[in-house]
Amino acid sequence: MAYITLNTAVSITGLSKRTLWRRIADGQLRVLDAATGGGEHTRVLLDDVVALSPLRLEADDRVLIAEADAGSAEAQCDLALLLLTRNLPVEAVRWLALAAKQNYPEAMHQLGRCYIGGRGVAVNEALGVEWISRAAALGHSTARPLARYLMDPARPTLDASALEARLDAIEREQVLAVLRETAEVGGNPASNKD
C-alpha cells in the first residue's frame, strides 16, 4: 500500500488541507502512523485519496503519483503533464517547478512554456525564456530551437497567444524533422547492415 503526503493529496483531490484533516478525523482517509500526531509529515493512503479525487486515474497514474510524491523529477514532470491535460494548470505548474528545481530539462521546458502562455501562472515572458534557455543548455532538443528563437533580437514582438502559436509551430517543425530523420535512417538499406 502506498502512502503520500498531504500536499500531494491536495494536488490530486483539489481539497484543502483542512478538509483532508476532517476526512482523516472521520476515518475516510487512513494515515500511515496515527500515533505520530499528524502535522506536515502526515502520510495518507493513496487509494483513499484516489477515491476522493475528481480525476479518473488508472493504475499507472497511481504509480506515477507515488513516485512524484517520493521526489522523482521525471514522475513529477509526468504528473504535471497529466494535470495539464486534465485542465489543472496551477497544480501542474507546482509539480513542474519541483522537477525543474532538480534540473530536469523537460520540466524546465514545460515550465517555461507555462510562463510564456500564462497557463497556471501569470504571463512572464522573461521567466519563460529563462526556463527554456536552461533546458536548452542541458541539451533538451526541443528547447534549443525555442531558445534560439526567443533570444533572437530580430524576432517580432508578439502577444502571449501569438508567441505560444509560434512556439508550437517551432516544436512541430522540430518533431517532424526528427521523425523524417528517423524514417530516413530506418528506411536506408545501407543502415541496416550488420
Measured at the alpha carbon of residue 56, what is the angle toward residues 161 and 106, in degrees to the nearest 5?
Answer: 45
pLDDT, residue 194, reads 45
Which residues in the chain come in under a pLDDT of 50? 192-194
Parallel/antiparallel/unpaired status of strands 3-5 and 43-45: antiparallel
* Contact between 148 and 155 (Cβ < 8 Å): no
Domain boundaries, the chain: 1-58, 71-186
Q: What is the pLDDT of residue 32?
A: 86
What is the average pLDDT score of the chain? 91
Cα of first residue to Cα of last residue in the chain, in angstroms, is 47
Q: How many CB atoms lie within 10 A of CB 192?
A: 9
pLDDT of residue 160: 87
CATH architecture of 71-186: Alpha Horseshoe (1.25)
Two domains, one topology: 1-58 and 71-186 = no
In this structure, are residues 29 and 49 in contact, taking their beta carbons and an 8 Å threshold?
Answer: yes
Helix (H) or strand (E) holding 43: strand 43-45
Residue 64 burial (CB < 10 Å; 0-12/13-18/19+)?
buried
Decide if 95 contacts 79 (C-beta within 8 A).
yes
Closest Cα partner for 21 from 47, 46, 1, 44?
44
> How much is the pTM?
0.87
Query: Please, how many CA atoms are within 13 Å of residue 8, restricted to the half-sphere of its CB?
Result: 28
Which CATH number is 1-58 given? 1.10.10
